[in-house]
Structures are given as C-alpha cells and as structure tokens.
Amino acid sequence: MELSLYESKANLPIPTKEPLTPADSSGHGESRLVDSKQLPTFFMGKSWRFWAIIPSLMVTTLLSAVEVTVLSTALPTVVHTLNIGENYPWIVNSFLLTSTAFLPIMGQLADAWGRRWPTIITVAIFTLGSAIAGGANNIATLIAGRAIQGLGSGGLNLLVDLIICDLVPLRERGKFISIISIMFAIGLFLGPFIGGSIVQHASWRWVFWINLPVGGVSIMMLYLALQVNSVQVPLKERLRRIDYIGNILIIGSVFAIMYALTYAGTFYAWTDVRVLAPLVCGFLGIAAFHVYEGSRFCSWPTISARFFGHRTTAVAFFLTFAHALMTLWTLYFLPVYFQAVQTVTPSRSGVELLPTVFGMIPGATIASQYLTRVGKYKMLHIVGILLMAGGLGSFAALGADSDTAMWVCLQLINSIGNGILATSLLPAVQAGLTDEDNALSTSTWAYLRSYGAIWGVTIPAVIFNNIFSKSLWKIPDLEARAALSGGNAYANAAREFILSFPPSIQPEIVQVYTDALRVLWLIAAAICGFTLIFAFLEQDIPLRESLRAEFGIKVRSDRKTEVIV
C-alpha cells in the first residue's frame, strides 16, 4: 500500500496482509521497504551506522530522565534560597505540563520535518531551558526555564522511541525499546542522588547547569550519528499538515487540568470553584478535542480516531496510561515508606529504591526476547500486570520492622513486571497499524504515558492525604496533628520531621504513616486487577518482520540515497 505524504491519513484502513513492495527512492517522502542487506552487518544483524545511532539515543534518554526526578531532593533548597512562596509546585508542574501537552504536535512536526533536526533542536531547547533555570533569581524565570526544559524533554522521549520504530521492524523493536526503557529507569532513579549530592556539596544551580555539558555531548553525537532520511516537501505543505485547532484544544485542556491539580487539596479544597472550574473546563476541552479529531473538519488529526477504533490498539493505549500511573505511584510513595516509616535519610532512601531499577532489567530483557522470538505480546501484558499487582499489594505488608530481604524482594516482583510492560506496550499499539502511522501512534502512546504519569502523582497523593487526615486522631500530640493536617502528610514524610518530636510520640506518627500506606498499596493493587481485565481483550496480532520506512538510515550509493537498517 503506497501512501503519499500529500494524501491525508485520516481515512486509512487497518492494514491488510498485502505483501510490501519496494517504493522508489525519489526522496519525495514515499515509504520504502527497508532492506537490511544493503550494507555488511556489524552486530546482531545491524550495520555499524545503526549502532552509531543507539548510544546517542541512550545518552539523550538519560539526559531527559534524570531531570524528571532530580528536583525531588533539591526542591526544598531551591525554594528556600530563592524565597519562593506558595507557588513552588509550579517548579515541577510547569515541566510536566509542557512535556505532556506538546507531545501530540511533536509527532506531526516529526512527520513534516523528519527525525534528525527535530531531535537535535529538542535537545538544544532542553539545554537552553536548563541554562535559564540555573541562572534564575526569581520564580518567574525559574518556571520559564522549567517549562522550556519540559518542552524539550517531552520531545526527546517521543523522538527517541520514534527513531527506534523507524530503524527496526516491529518484531525486533522490543529489544531496543528495552534498552531505552532501562536507560530511562536508571535516569529516573539517579535524579534524586544527583540532586541531593549537588545541593549538599555545591550550588543548587548546578542541578540545572549539569545538563549543559551533557546536552552538548548529546547534540554532537546526534549530529554525527543520526544520519537518517528526510522528506522533500514544500514549506507550505509542511505547515498545512499541522492540526492547529486540535493542538490548541489539547494544550489548553492539559494546562487547565494541571492548574487545578496544582492547587487542589493543598491551597484550595477540591470543592472550591477555583479548582472545579479549570478541572471541568479541562475535561470538556479534552472531550471537544476528541470530537474534533474524529470529525470531517480535521484532515490531519493529531490523534487519529481510527486508532481507538481498533480493539488491540485501544486496549494497549489504556494499558500504557495505567502502567505510567502505577509506575509514578510506586516512585513517589516507596520513598514515603523508607523516610517516614523506616526513618532513613533521603540519600539512603535512594539506595533502597535501587531494586526497582535493577528489577526492570531482567523484566525488559525477558520481554524483548519473547517479542523477538515468539512475536506475541498478550501473555507479556498479563504476566506484567500480575507481577505489578502482586508487588504493589505486597507492599501493604511492609512496616517499621520489615527486614531488608522483604522490601528488596517485593520491589523486584513489582519492577520485573514493570520492565515487561515498559518494553511490550508500544509494539502492541503498533501491531494493528501501518508503519506510516509510526509518528502519530508513537506520539499518542507517549502522550498517554505522560498523562498517566501526571495522575500517578495526583491520585495517590489525594488518597494518601485523605486517609491520613482521618487517622490523625491516633496521634496524641497536638503540634504533630497540626503539622500533618491540611494535606501536609506527604510533604512532611521525612526523617527529620519524625525525629523532631519526643521519642514517645514518634511511634504513633510512624504507625499512622504505615496504616495510610497500607490502604494506598491495596488500592493500587486493585487498580492493577481492574487493568488486567482489559489485557484479556487484546488480540495477538503477528508482529511484522518487514519495515516500510520513510526515515531510515541514509547512505550514499551510486549517487542515490537509500534507506537501510
């Protein structure tokens, strides 16, 4: 099936079993059947040019991932130094806002301008944001820098996955997605170490400025290695293919929801009009966005409605949202257990989270090998969800006296399931679509992953603070009650806070934290159980072993540009 870039994809059918045939190499944007034998292989059946690209993608992924969590330990120092008031949540939320809201349009830009320069430019944007944030002397400049960082980070997360999709057939993608997923996990959990070490031994500004040399190295590596094909399309045509109305709707809606979530429960009650109004407007905006995307007025949809008309693709999108939600749920509340129940330091808490990182490695490896050898994903999703549910539910048994072996093993159970899902979800999304849909399907997948991450912080925080508030009566000390009321239980989940009270009061505070976390983990396990139902609705569509790519690796052969792997 040939697809011209001048032709709308809005009404494309789900792919048939028609054999793929090579298209010409005229460079006008037609898809081409990739032939991996055009160059001698270097390793694992791939050319040296392919393996030159992978390290640059790994460095780029690590750069982006570290910034997601680096402020978790550095934020109090930043807030205190700049004398930032009650608007401090925007330092984190501005990053999440732009990294999520602009993901859909990134997919369209990558389709219109190719992969090489959008990727290099997004690294430059991220690095610029880091420079601005590091040089900030007030909250406005800091938030602006963080927003620019988020824009670059979201684009990087999407484009790295998209480049993998362009370079390898669907059957093989799991192997390389697992590498990227592992690097992202390592970055997430290195962030708190880096942030804590910097504020302890140097200026907080280096939390951001440390990205400058790494960003420079990443740009250089991408410029030298990322030699991929591009499309020759007039500027007017490129601009015509952008869904302006849809992107305005989705960006505005995500901003409204993030605004509500920033102030809900902490500054204003959830029933306050200042929370309800933007929240309702945000959800209505998302509904309007989906209606518009499926209408005849939208020729180049940002998120194609036909994706959700395919059962397996729609289920995989839902599993992606749920997986991200559970991942952030774990990432943000296991440290509460370590710091408030075990009363360890933040740096020690980071060490005790390492099983969550290392457990993803065998999970991702198992999933990637299974995808490549068997070519199926449904069983991986079922097993991954069961392991995550078992791990999350078992966390409810953790208490102040739990030994090391217990919390290590329970983390490994959860993280192995996490690694399995992280590797196998994108291939499931794309199994029922064509390779021409790579950009839009990957951007939709990345958007839902980021959107799930937002709720993965918000939902458990609301539940936790609500449960904690109902148990405050168990703490006899009035000063402790006052400090932990009003949604401050999460903010005060720290060793220093617990130990600031007399020894006779500390066990009561720790017990309330333990009880609240127990309920929180059981709710998380129940959500996983609900998610499991949808996994059974998937179909095991055979993963393609051929690849039709517009943006594969570019080489010169007989004065013509060819696409290879």
pLDDT in tens, 281-326: 999 999 999 899 888 888 888 888 888 888 999 999 999 999 999 9
Q: Dihedral of CA 101/107/112/118: which sign?
A: positive
pLDDT of residue 27: 38
Q: Which range among 204-213, 312-321, 375-384, 483-492 shows the weakest confidence by mean pLDDT?
A: 483-492
If phi > 0 it is left, if psi is from -120 to 50 it is alpha, else beta; for residue 487 that is left
Query: Which among 357-361, 401-405, 490-494 has the top mean pLDDT?
Result: 401-405
Label residues 128-163 b or e (16+ Cβ within 10 Å = b): bbbbbbbebeebeebbbbbbbbbbbbbbbbbbbbbb
Residue 267 is which amino acid?
F
Query: Averaged over 529-552, what is the pLDDT?
Result: 84
pLDDT of residue 558: 44
User: Rounded to the nearest 10 degrees, what angle do helices 404-431 and 354-374 cross at?
Assistant: 40
Residue 533: other Cβ atoms inside 10 A? 9
Share of the chain above pLDDT 90, in %: 32
Question: pLDDT higher for 315 or 97?
Answer: 315
- Looking up tokens 């990182």 gives 357
Task: Name the pTM for this structure.
Answer: 0.82
User: If you write DSSP's letter for every residue of 17-46 in order, what string do you get?
Assistant: SPPP-PPP--SSS--EE--TTSS---BTTB
Tell me the pairing of strands 32-33 and 560-564: unpaired
Residue 22: other Cβ atoms inside 10 A? 12
Q: Which two three-digit tokens encode residue 543?
A: 């993963």
User: Is residue 528's pLDDT more than 50?
Assistant: yes
Residue 205: other Cβ atoms inside 10 A? 16
Question: Residue 409: exposed, middle, or buried by beta-carbon count in 10 A (0-12, 13-18, 19+)?
Answer: middle
In Å, how far from its chain's centre is CA 118? Answer: 19
Contacts of 507 (CB under 8 A, 6+ apart): none
- Alpha-carbon distances, residue 492 vs 91, 262, 487 (angstroms): 19, 18, 10
Judge whether 395 and 521 are in contact, CB under 8 Å: yes
Cα–Cα distance measured from residue 203 to residue 135, given in angstroms and rounded to the nearest whole number? 11
Question: pLDDT higher for 78 or 370?
Answer: 370
pLDDT of residue 314: 94
Cα–Cα distance measured from residue 66 to residue 222, given in angstroms and rounded to the nearest whole number? 19
Judge whether 64 and 99 are in contact, CB under 8 Å: no
Question: pLDDT higher for 68 or 527?
Answer: 527
Q: Which two three-digit tokens encode residue 318?
A: 């839902």
Q: Which two three-digit tokens encode residue 157?
A: 């997360």
Q: Dihedral of CA 514/339/99/224: which sign?
A: negative
Averaged confidence pLDDT in the chain: 83
Residue 134 is which amino acid?
G
pLDDT of residue 11: 36
